[in-house]
Amino acid sequence: MNRKLWEIILLVIVGVMVVSCASTDVSVPEATTEIETQEGKAIVETVCTGCHSLNKVTSASYDRAGWEKTVERMIAKGAELDSAQKETLIDYLVTTYSK
């Protein structure tokens, strides 16, 4: 094969690689896995419903700052969450019940 043909083949391969990389979604969702979503839902169903109905949570709609403030307020009122549970819960609420 002559050199010109090799150059064309190489350009096609590089072009395919560039297009392939450019179309890859690299965004990271709030709740990144199904397990985290399930954990967040379980926290809502156990911790949050210990004081009020599930409808109280599902009918609310806040942005991240609003959910963080709400969760902090609930912790101050006695909701028992460690820091990992708190973050999982906030991520779940933002992903599922945001404005």
DSSP 19-47: HHHHT------SS-SHHHHHHHHHHHHHT
**Residues 10, 70: Cα–Cα separation, whole Å:** 56
Per the prediction, the chain carries an average pLDDT of 83
**Residues 44, 24: Cα–Cα separation, whole Å:** 33
Tokens 């460690």 sit at which residue?
82
- Nearest Cα to Cα of residue 40 among 98, 99, 84: 84
Please write the tens of the pLDDT for every residue from 45-56: 999 999 999 999
The torsion defined by the Cα of 83, 78, 75 and 70, in degrees rounded to 10, comes to 150
Please write the tens of the pLDDT for every residue from 2-45: 877 777 776 777 766 666 655 555 444 544 578 888 999 999 99
Domains recognised in the chain with CATH numbers: 34-97 (1.10.760.10)
Q: Please report the pLDDT score of residue 16 as a whole number.
A: 67
| pTM of the full structure | 0.66
Q: Of residues 27 and 98, which shows the higher confidence score?
A: 98
